[in-house]
Each structure stands twice: as structure tokens, then as C-alpha cells.
Amino acid sequence: NDKLKILVTGGAGFIGSHLVDLLLSQNHQVVVLDNFSTGKLDNLPSADRGLSIVNGDIRYSDTVEQAATGCDAIVHLAAVASVQASVEDPCGTHQVNLVGTLNLLEVAKKQGIKRFVYASSAAVYGDTNELPVSEATQLNPLTPYAADKLAGEYYIDFYRRQYHLKPVIFRFFNIFGPRQDPSSPYSGVISIFLQRAQANQPITVFGDGEQTRDFVYVAELVRLLEQAVTTTEPAAMPMNVGNGKQTSLNQLLAAIQDFSSHPLDIRYSNPRSGDIRYSCADNQRVREQMGFHNQYPIADGLKRTWEWM
Ligand code: NAD
Ligand code: UD2
């Protein structure tokens, strides 16, 4: 039962901080590298001997090099995670989402760090008509965010072939849970709906609410990330991380209504331009390769997130 020293980039963010909690609970040493652009110090435990925090930027290779020193593995989650931000500032977000990733790969090569877990996105598939979406689905990155995520996958594969990197690439579908920030209109829909419901504010549904997403509770995801970073022979292929189930916005709202004390004020408006109608992962690969299976019904995750808010 080997204890590792693991670099988690973006470890102060929504997903990263849950992973940090899990790794620390298993007595691994954790180094968080985060520039706190969207991440928060409050997301991290205030005093844990296993945790060190580097307030730094993955755009700078010397920062990355220092943070990675002595680490056995890297989970690379730091990114400008907002698609909208990438549309507004493609150059700025590219420096983080692609060049930052390359800085990490170079450091892994230099320091002989083999294990590298990467957060890619279902955005690489774009607006596909194929359902469920398997990894064999035609790639169609429609935004700078998606293009950088996909390019990151290709660079990682180069380091795998050339320098014997042992990467694990996950394409996350819609992740939700405590600590997801509801403050932007492009935040995860669940965090927005829950926050509005609790504040007794109107909830806007873009379209008829029959659009679906494949939602994954963050605790499910980080168990998978932990498994990927600690197992000896990881799978190299990109793997979808979804539950293989679709939930519509109207179903979400019905579930939220169940634990809300007042009637929700739901307002339907025009669909968002570029919005995907249905999304569902074919998760056969991650089930076969990692034994991934859904343990949290969406309603339980919703309830926990509701209680956290
Ligand atoms: P998040 O914004 O909470 O986390 C990103 C973290 O990276 C933040 O803590 C932020 O401060 C940090 N960061 C940003 N730029 C940085 C820089 N230049 N240097 C150092 N740190 C930097 O978002 P999240 O939802 O936790 O996303 C984590 C990862 O998962 C991202 O790579 C994101 O693209 C990916 N992802 C998320 C989802 C989702 O549904 N949440 C879906 C697909 C992919
Ligand atoms: C997700 C990602 C996005 C990008 C995209 C690629 C998140 C938060 N967003 O967008 O970054 O990768 O996938 O396909 O993970 N909605 C409402 N009311 C609201 C907010 C949202 O009706 O107040 C709708 C929205 O129009 C969409 C659905 O809810 O139909 C889900 O929206 P989202 O922003 O949570 O996620 P998504 O899948 O559009």
C-alpha cells in the first residue's frame, strides 16, 4: 500500500478540492498548484500535514517545475474551465489550457514522472447526433476550449509514445456537486438551479426543459481519478466519464421541487444558441477498464449539494 506524493493542478477548484480531500484521507502527500483564479483557499483543509499549497501559475514552466519536484504523479485539472471565456479570449485561455498542459508534460519528462491524469471534456465531441456518445464518435471540437482540450490529448499521446509517459485521459461529462460555483450564467445548471431555489428567486430554463445531460456526482468522479492516479497499469485510451443516463432539466426541477419548501418559480425562455439538445455518454470503456459504475443516484447527489449550499 504505497503512499504517493501527488501534484494536483487546479486543486483549489471545484473538482480538484474534492480529489485533494480524498487523497489526503488515504494518507497520500498532496501538492496543490493553483493560481486561485476560480479556485478558493476555503475549498482546502486549513491544516493538514500531508498538504502543501503552491500559489502559482501553470503558464510558467519554472513554477511548474518547482511544484512538481519530488512528486510521483500528476493529476492535471487546472484550466480555464469556462467555454464562454475561451470564446471571448482564445489567446489568453490557450496559454493556460494548452501551453500550461505542455509545461506539465515537459516537467513530467524532465523529472521522470510517469503517471499523468488529464481532465478532458465531452466538449471534444461537439454537437453530435450520435447517442450515446462513444469514444469512437467523430470528434468535433467547436470552441477554443474544446480545441485546446483535444490538442492536449494529442500532446499527451505524443509524450506516451516518445517518453513512456503513462497517461490516463478522461472526458468528463456534466459534473456537479458541492463547491461548484453558481455565480456565472455559464456555471453548471445544477448549481444555478439549486442556488435560485434556495434564494427563492426565479429559475430560467433555456428552451422547453426537455434537453438532457449526463450528470455525474463529483464524489463518483474523484474516486475514479484517485484510482487512475494510484493503479499500476492505467489505460491509455481516452475514456468517457458519464453515467450513461440522461436527465432532463424538467426532471431535475421536479427533484428539486421535492426538497424545496416553497413552489419553484420556473420561467421558460428561448433556447441558448449553440446549446446541445441531448447528451449521454457511452461509458462501456470506463466500466471495462476501471470498473466504474454509478453508485449515487442523481437525486442523492442533488440532495447533498442542496444541503451544502
Ligand atoms: P474550476 O474552475 O473550479 O477548477 C479549475 C482550477 O484551476 C481552479 O482552482 C483555478 O483557480 C485553477 N487555475 C485556472 N487557471 C490556472 C493557472 N493558469 N494556473 C494554475 N491554476 C489555474 O473548474 P472544475 O469544474 O473543477 O474543472 C476542473 C477541470 O475539469 C478543468 O480542467 C475543466 O476543464 C475540466 N472539466 C470540468 C467539467 C465540469 O463539468 N465541471 C467538465 C469537463 C471538463
Ligand atoms: C457543458 C459545460 C461547458 C461545455 C459544454 C460542451 C459545464 C458547466 N458546462 O455545457 O463548459 O463543456 O458542456 O458541450 O459543465 N441552462 C438553463 N438555465 C440556466 C443554466 C443552464 O436552462 O440557468 C441549460 C442550458 O441551456 C443547457 C443545460 O441547462 O441546456 C445545461 O447547461 P450547463 O451550462 O450546465 O452545461 P452544458 O452541457 O450546456
**Which overall architecture, per CATH, does domain 177-213+245-279+296-308 show?**
Alpha-Beta Complex (3.90)
Q: What is the ipTM of this complex?
A: 0.97
79 Cβ closer than 6 Å to some ligand 2 atom: no
The domain over range 5-175+216-241 is classified in CATH as 3.20.20.70: no
Task: Determine the straight-line distance between the first and last CA of the chain, rounded to whole angstroms.
Answer: 36
Q: Nearest ligand to the C-alpha of residue 184?
A: 2
Pairing assessment for the beta strands 203-206 and 247-248 based on DSSP bridges: unpaired
Cell of 187: 456555471
Please state the atom number of ligand 2 nearest to the C-alpha of residue 196. Answer: 23
Identify which of 28, 25, 44, 45 has the alpha carbon closest to the alpha carbon of residue 36: 44
pLDDT tens by residue, 243-289: 999 999 999 999 999 989 999 999 999 999 889 999 999 999 999 99
Which three cell numbers mark 283?
Answer: 461509458
Q: What is the mean pLDDT of the chain?
A: 95
262 CA to centre of ligand 1 in angstroms: 34
pLDDT in the model for residue 185: 85
Which pLDDT tens digits describe the chain residue by residue (309 residues)? 589 999 999 999 999 999 999 999 999 999 999 999 999 999 999 989 999 999 999 999 999 999 999 999 999 999 999 999 999 999 999 999 999 999 999 999 999 999 999 999 999 999 888 899 999 999 999 999 999 999 999 999 999 999 999 999 999 999 999 999 999 888 999 999 999 999 999 999 999 999 999 999 999 999 999 999 998 777 778 999 999 999 999 999 999 999 899 999 999 999 998 899 999 999 999 999 999 987 788 999 999 999 999
Distance CA 15, CA 3 (A): 22
Cell numbers 471495462 correspond to what residue? 288
CA of 252 to the centre of ligand 2 (A): 13
Residue 232's pLDDT is 74
pLDDT recorded at residue 56: 98
- Give the active site residue among 118, 145, 159, 296: 145
* Probe residue for ligand 2, chosen from 82, 125, 142, 174 as the CB with the greatest number of ligand atoms within 8 Å: 174
Question: What residues does each domain of the chain span?
Answer: 5-175+216-241, 177-213+245-279+296-308
Asked if 156 and 105 touch (Cβ cutoff 8 Å), the reply is yes
Question: Which amino acid residue places its CA nearest to atom 29 of ligand 2?
Answer: 189
211 ligand 2 Cβ < 6 A: yes
- Per-residue model confidence (pLDDT) at position 1: 55
Alpha helix positions (H), the chain: 14-25, 61-68, 83-88, 90-94, 100-111, 144-163, 189-198, 218-230, 249-259, 284-290, 298-308
